[in-house]
Amino acid sequence: MIPNVLTIAGTDPSGGAGVQADIKTFSALGAYGMSVMTALVAQNTQGVTRILHVPPDFVAAQMDTLFEDVRVDAVKIGMIDTAAVASMVAQRLRHHQVDIVILDPVMVAKSGDRLLASDAIEIMRQELLPLATLITPNLPEAGVLLDRAPPDTIDGMADAARALYDLGPGNVLLKGGHLTAETSPDVLFDGEALTMFPARRVQTKNTHGTGCTLSAAIAALLPRRSSMASAVADAKAYLTDALLGGDALDVGQGHGPVHHFHALWAQTKHKEIPSDQIQ
């Protein structure tokens, strides 16, 4: 069965992050992608210039209209920019009783622009985290959620993952990309066991949307995997290959996007059509 996967997030006109990156990731991994917009973001590879907030009742209308018609196998939540929208999303998810919810607590863009209002953080802690099957914060986001300094060691990551689990999610994947090590390890905690996912650190400027892509990949894969650990492992492998393929793209002058379709495009051979055959 092809899973139907929904992203609830903000936009990125440059296509590297947000809803656009999520839909690309779902498609690349064989899931049918759907979207609910929480914010319209004027953004490119260098930064964010404006954000147009979508009213909470319209976010709810998008969700309700979709759920009334389509089976939703998994939901990925990205940018939730206001407290009112965060609360509304939590309310509608409770109403529709979604089994798989992957929450990527997007707070700051790769450019450094803040994407989450301060009053939304507490709503995220109280209402969204307990609904999540998995949360995927990076180290600075973990610090914000726990209201303490971000962890800066592997042992500190393990402690933070346990503390984040105590806030209510079913699983925690704490991403270690901000460590200053040669590798980029992630830590998965399911309430009992800690699983380490070592990964090579890819040297590239095309890192825009990596968090969106990883969480979207997990959402696309989890309905077809036997465990959370296997979905995370496969999602991380996909992201590594997308990072490695990113240098084939020439998009923007800042942090470019990863190559979501690295596997598909590498297999596609383009045959030029003779001009006399073009109608």
pLDDT single digits (tens) 71-83: 999 999 999 989 9
pLDDT tens sequence across 229-268: 999 999 999 999 999 999 999 999 999 999 999 998 876 5
Joined together, the tokens standing for residue 52 give 């147009």
Share of the chain above pLDDT 90, in %: 76
pLDDT reading at 181 higher than 50: yes
Residue 16 appears among annotated catalytic residues: no
Out of 78, 209, 246, 256, pick the active-site residue.
209
Higher pLDDT residue, 204 or 236? 236
- The mean pLDDT of 169-189, rounded to a whole number, is 87
Kindly name the residue from 176, 210, 246, 256 that is annotated as catalytic: 210
pLDDT, average across residues 144-157? 90
* Catalytic residue list contains 211: yes
Q: Catalytic annotation on 254?
A: no
Predicted confidence (pLDDT) at residue 174 exceeds the cutoff of 90? yes
Percent of residues, the chain, with pLDDT higher than 70: 91
| 3-state SS track over the chain | CCCEEEEEEECCCCCCCHHHHHHHHHHHCCCEEEEEEEEEEEECCCCEEEEEECCHHHHHHHHHHHHCCCCCCEEEECCCCCHHHHHHHHHHHHHHCCCCEEECCCCECCCCCECCCHHHHHHHHHHHHHHCCEECCEHHHHHHHHCCCCCCCHHHHHHHHHHHHCCCCCCEEEECCCCCCCECCEEEECCCCEEEECCECCCCCCCECHHHHHHHHHHHHHHHCCCHHHHHHHHHHHHHHHHHHHHHCCCCCCCCECCCCHHHHHHCCCCCCCHHHCC
Q: Using one digit for the tens of pLDDT, what is the confidence trace for 13-37? A: 999 999 999 999 999 999 999 999 9
**Residue 279 clears pLDDT 50, i.e. is over it:** no
Residue from 16, 18, 211, 246 carrying the catalytic annotation = 211
Catalytic annotation, pick one of 195, 204, 207, 240: 207
* Lowest-confidence pick of 48-62, 64-78, 114-128, 235-249: 114-128
Catalytic: 183?
no
Mind listing the pLDDT tens digit for each residue in 123-135?
A: 999 999 999 999 9
Catalytic residue among 16, 175, 236, 256: 175
Q: What mean pLDDT, rounded, does the chain reach?
A: 91
Confidence of residue 152 (pLDDT cuts 50, 70, 90): confident
Task: Return the CATH number of the domain spanning residue range 4-277.
Answer: 3.40.1190.20
